[in-house]
Amino acid sequence: MGEHPSPGPAVAACAEAERIEELEPEAEERPPAEDHWKVLFDQFDPGNTGFISTGKFRSLLDSHSAKLDPHKREVLLALADSHANGQICYQDFVNLMSNKRSNSFRQAILQGNRRLCSKALLEEKGLNLSQRLIRHVAYETLPREIDRKWYYDSYTCCPPPWFMITVTLLEVAFFLYNGVSLGQFVLQVTHPRYLKNSLVYHPQLRAQAWRYLTYIFMHAGIEHLGLNVVLQLLVGVPLEMVHGATRIGLVYVAGVVAGLLLQLFTLTAVPKGALRVCLRSLAVSVADMTAPVVGSSGGVYALVSAHLANIVMNWSGMKCQFKLLRMAVALICMSMEFGRAVWLRFHPSAYPPCPHPSFVAHLGGVAVGITLGVVVLRNYEQRLQDQSLWWIFVAMYTVFVLFAVFWNIFAYTLLDLKLPPPP
């Protein structure tokens, strides 16, 4: 998969430029990458104006056309034609030749004067199995044809989508181990010894910090694990192939943490007396602060919610097949899983007085998906640090996490909550 013999524009241009005798420095004096582009840029800008004409830039691309991927060459030519003043500044030149796609790069293409005249990626014939798979992933996740072509030419499967696959294998391995240990695979959570596992989050054991993450490796049963694994593989793996393990892992872990912390969150100012009792009951029913938590639903719902929201926001651009039907199926599956979790939560417990695991983590995952997740998926190959909306949601998430941590410390005393005994 990803066996593309054509190098990216930065590699091709660099390799070709190094063959030019007048630009070839001695091996021991070779300048850094950006200095190399500066040397090349100065050849076209003898007056040191900081700009070169788009005509010269087109000539450079034409001279390297045999070494450039055809789709990437289209992108670069579209950018050259989009400059109404007929000039390209040095920073744009470096971004292009270094394969850095800034916001100005995207806007220049989208607002360019030249339309891409070649056929769509979907219409190309003679692709092998791996190329068809990469093309399918591009159409599943990216709303713009120019991004799909760029991804198709850039993807090398190095590194592979290791994060989602590793998490999924670990979840399956822990489930099988617990199933053999407990002698039960369906509704494992009803086994009297289930909560004794050191990975489950339990409110009485909240001082054991590792439980805030390890609870994702414990599932209520094969019916719980099955849907999470299917969604992780069908949605999470393609998203990781496009956006990378760092970004998708960030959304996934943020959903996991938010799903647990939302359970700890409740109302802030609680008066004494009868109203305090009423509000305490409301807080427990909404935030479910006394119940344990298991399963990776927070992370899964974060990814799926972000993907579905991205499809809705870019409806006309998304070219995945049967998107309306598939969205309906995804929403039905998520609703059924949430309904199962709610039913199980209020089902008579197998280990009274401790209730069955909470369902609130699902809601925390959705909240992360439609905020942080959407920003990540909308900015393919763009620097998130340059997005003001990204920092707004990061600040909101940070405030939420800090507040939830302090609330976790003081809320149980403030509300006089009686927690079930530890398992």
CATH of the domain at 41: 1.10.238.10
- 386 pLDDT more than 80: no
C-alpha span between 98 and 96 (Å, rounded):
5
Residues 371 and 279 in one domain: yes
Which range scores top for mean pLDDT: 61-75, 100-114, 270-284, 338-352? 338-352
400, two tokens: 């939420």
Residues 93 and 183 in one domain: no
How far apart (Å, rounded) are the C-alpha atoms in residues 384 and 376? 7
Catalogue the long-range contacts made by 34-37 (C-beta closer than 8 Å, 24 or more residues apart): 34/94, 34/98, 37/93, 37/94, 37/97, 37/98
Is the CB of residue 108 less than 8 Å from the CB of residue 83?
Answer: yes
**Residue ranges making up the domain that contains 344:** 162-415
**Higher pLDDT residue, 419 or 278?**
419
> Residue 355 carries which DSSP code?
P
CB 187 within 8 A of CB 176: no
* Same domain, yes or no: 403 and 260: yes
Report which residue type is found at 233.
Answer: L
Domain presence at residue 12: no
Asked, for residue 423, whether it belongs to a domain, the answer is no
Percent of the chain exceeding pLDDT 90 equals 22
Which among 115, 195, 129 is positioned nearest to 157, based on CA atoms? Answer: 129
Residue 365 to residues 108, 170, 183, Cα–Cα distance (Å): 35, 20, 31
Residue 376 lies in a domain: yes
pLDDT at 253: 93
CATH number at residue 325: 1.20.1540.10
Residues 381 and 259 in one domain: yes
Evaluate whether residue 390 is within a structural domain: yes
**219 among known catalytic residues:** no
Encode burial over 302-335: b for 16+ CB neighbours within 10 A, e otherwise: bbbbbbbbbbeeeeeebbeeeeeeebeebeeebe
Rounded to 5°, the CA angle 257-259-260 comes to 70
Same domain, 298 and 397: yes
Q: Secondary structure of the chain: what % helix, strand, coil (to 5)?
A: 65, 0, 35
pLDDT band (50, 70, 90) for residue 169? very high
pLDDT (mean) for 289-316? 89
Secondary structure of residue 118 in the 3-state scheme: coil
User: Whose structure tokens read 């789709």?
Assistant: 71
CB atoms closer than 10 angstroms to residue 260: 24
Q: Is 331 a member of any domain?
A: yes
Does the residue 243 lie in any domain?
yes
> Cis link prior to 160 (omega < 30° from 0)?
no
pTM of the model: 0.71
pLDDT at 205: 84
- Picking from 157-171, 306-320, 380-394, which range would have the lowest pLDDT averaged per residue? 380-394
Q: Identify the residue whose tokens are 């999924």.
A: 168
Rounded CA separation 69/74 (Å): 9
Give the total number of structural domains in the chain.
Answer: 2
From 82, 154, 297, 305, the catalytic residue: 297
Flag whether 209 is in a domain: yes
What is residue 119's DSSP assignment? P
Residues 51 and 194 in one domain: no
74 and 202 both lie in a single domain? no
Which one is catalytic: 64, 83, 356, 362? 362
Across the chain, what does the average pLDDT equal?
Answer: 75
Write the pLDDT tens digit of every residue in 55-87. Answer: 777 777 776 665 566 666 666 666 666 655 667
Q: Do 183 and 74 reside in the same domain of the chain?
A: no
The arithmetic mean of pLDDT across residues 91-100, rounded, is 63
Q: Are residues 82 and 175 in the same domain?
A: no
**At residue 1, does pLDDT exceed 90?**
no
Give the span between the Cα atoms of 220 and 198, in whole angstroms: 15
71 assigned to active site: no
Q: Tell the residue number behind the tokens 């990437």, with chain if given.
A: 72
Asked, for residue 330, whether it belongs to a domain, the answer is yes
Together in a domain, 205 and 293: yes
CA distance 120 to 104: 24
Give the pLDDT of residue 98: 59
pLDDT at residue number 204? 83
Same domain, 279 and 389: yes
For residue range 208-248, list pLDDT tens digits in order.
888 888 999 999 999 899 999 999 999 999 999 999 999 99
Residues 80 and 175 placed together within one structural domain of the fold: no
Where are the extended beta strands (E) located within 313-372? none
Whether 305 contacts 365, CB under 8 Å: yes
